[in-house]
Amino acid sequence: MGELSGIAIGVTAERRAEEFIGALERHGADVRHAPTITIVPLDSDPELKAGTQALLASPIDFTVVTTGAGFRGWLDAASEWGLRDRLVTALGASRIYARGPKAVGAVRGAGLRESFSAASETNAELFGALASADVDGARVAVQLHGTPLPEHTAPLVEAGASLVELQPYRWFSPPDVTPVHQLIDASVAGELGALAFTSAPAAANFLALARSYGRYDELLAAMRGPLVVACVGPVTAAPLEAAGVETVQPERQRLGALVKLLVTELGGGRP
């Protein structure tokens, strides 16, 4: 009997879902899996390829790396296109700003070195540091992850920077939304102990699909009630908290830490 035995947890992730689900099931959880987004394969993404080619057309002054997974995926896709060496050389000639240790690890894994790392692992610190640098007239490569970040990139443009935004892991709604509808029904019916989110797009699209399904208000009421809503970090939580949903988050933005948090929140005899 695990700490989560008899407790149902809804998981909305697509990427690394098996790893996350396996960890929860080892603690005894009954996992209800319903991916709320489908990710476009990187090496077949024409927008990412075109953006990479455009980036390589001129020298780069600054590079912003928001996620380790996104940066590695971008370089892997560039390998498929025969552009990796050129891309690494071009990025290496720039000043690299990374969001925390996972992004730093990906940068160093490519043989590059960061000029700045956001200790708080937040986009606010990352882009704030770059905005305080002299970016007027600078060409800046911004590696996004899943969604644009206009609240952080607009100040760079206002400061005179020219941005090339690369978005690995573009996404769209799943072709079959039935599992998501079932997860919404289970949430509203009080069948779940928790909902877990590992990306902002997955969280935002969960709410969007609930709205199109006609159960948005009921879902929000459930998520504001006894249902635990757990997010891997503040970026993931943002769409939910903007809708008035309180979330719990681990101190470290890692899947393992999220599993431990769920055990702590639900494992003490909670129904």
Which pLDDT tens digits describe the chain residue by residue (271 residues)?
Answer: 589 998 999 999 887 788 999 999 999 999 999 999 987 767 778 889 999 999 999 999 999 999 898 899 899 999 999 999 999 999 999 999 999 998 999 999 999 999 999 999 889 999 999 999 989 999 999 999 767 889 999 999 999 999 999 988 777 889 999 999 999 999 999 999 999 999 888 999 999 999 999 999 999 999 998 899 999 998 899 899 999 999 999 988 888 999 999 999 998 644 4
Pick from 156, 168, 172: nearest CA to 67: 168
Distance set, CA 87 to CA 44, 127, 145 (Å): 18, 22, 18
Distance set, CA 83 to CA 7, 175, 242 (Å): 48, 32, 39
**Domains of the chain, first to last:** 8-38+173-266 (3.40.50.10090), 42-166 (3.40.50.10090)
